[in-house]
Amino acid sequence: MNIQRFIDARKAQGLSQNELAEGICTQATLSRFENNGQVPNLKILIKLCNRINLPLSELFPKVGVKYSEIVEKMNKAEFFLITSKYEKANSLIDSIDISQIEDTQLVLRYHYLNGFIMIFQQQPIMDILFTFDRVLLEEETMDALIFRLLAYTGIGMVYSREGDLEKAEFYFNRILEKIYNYPAKNMEDTWRVLNIVFQCGVFYAKMEELEISDALLHYAVTICSDNHVTYYLARAAIQLAKNAIVNNKPTDIILELIYDARAYSKVNRNDIALAELRDLEASVLENNS
């Protein structure tokens, strides 16, 4: 309940607690509400709100239709994030006023999206860590678990980017303990699990733990196949091709992975991936000419 909104409305009317409470309730009842969050019965609350011309609905968390525009923006931003369109994702997130959101799940989602966008835009490490801390400092519930795992992923990615692989591995290990058993409830959850598994695969490739990396990337491909999701197929196939190069696999196997990734990228119109694949194929062919 937004008690501060109530207090602001009372003060805007120029009323003291005694003046507002007169004929409705005791000043002590009103004080307990404003100072300690002890909500009076609904009949009293309605009378108090009517006296200061405050609709009762403004005291309660905004849900349903009032959040539909924000949810739609977040849906689009999350889609742009997984399809590597970071500028578009950032533009949408920047247009959301986080101070107007009281729904905890939406707040967590906002910070997770903002944190990942900051990573891909090469923002300073302390700013990124602060953003993910805002997820981790929320109460640990089952509904919040996926966002905590995403925050751990983001922190691991940042430390990896900074070259501190020991700290990065600490966070990625925490993720692997839980992600395999996470019950994705909807398509957005599936995207998030894929994001986590893929980033873990990329990290372990950087650690030259290619067996672990390949297992995670193949798991990502399986998730895509089982859920008819194609967005991460190209990225997983690209990383598998890179791993195959490091492992000195035969050229035909490497090229097959590259061609698979190109097909997935064309389906999703992922120009960034297609450009990376052109360079990768040229490098493979040059080294084998």
Is residue 13's pLDDT more than 70?
yes
Distance CA 2, CA 78 (A): 28
pLDDT class of 64 with cuts at 50, 70, 90: very low
Distance CA 225, CA 229 (A): 7
Helix pair 145-161, 187-206: axis angle to 10 deg: 30
Distance CA 255, CA 228 (A): 24
User: What does the domain layout of the chain look like in residue ranges?
Assistant: 3-59, 64-182
DSSP designation for 25: S
- Among 53-67, 76-90, 103-117, name the one with the lowest average pLDDT: 53-67
Res 66: pLDDT: 53
Res 23: pLDDT: 95
Res 284: pLDDT: 92
| pTM of the model as a whole | 0.70
Closest CA to 144 of 176, 192, 187: 192
pLDDT class of 170 with cuts at 50, 70, 90: very high
What is the fold, at CATH topology level, of the domain defined by 3-59?
Answer: 434 Repressor (Amino-terminal Domain) (1.10.260)
The mean pLDDT of 120-128, rounded to a whole number, is 95
The mean pLDDT of 88-116, rounded to a whole number, is 92
Is residue 63's pLDDT more than 50?
no
Mean residue pLDDT across the chain: 89
Highest mean pLDDT among 68-77, 117-126, 177-186, 260-269: 117-126
Phi and psi at residue 109, to the nearest 5°:
-65, -40
Catalogue the long-range contacts made by 93-97 (C-beta closer than 8 Å, 24 or more residues apart): 93/117, 96/70
pLDDT class of 61 with cuts at 50, 70, 90: low
pLDDT class of 67 with cuts at 50, 70, 90: low
The mean pLDDT of 162-181, rounded to a whole number, is 89
For residue range 189-222, list pLDDT tens digits in order. Answer: 888 998 999 999 999 999 999 999 999 999 888 8
For residue range 80-94, list pLDDT tens digits in order. Answer: 887 788 999 999 999
CATH class of domain segment(s) 64-182: mainly alpha
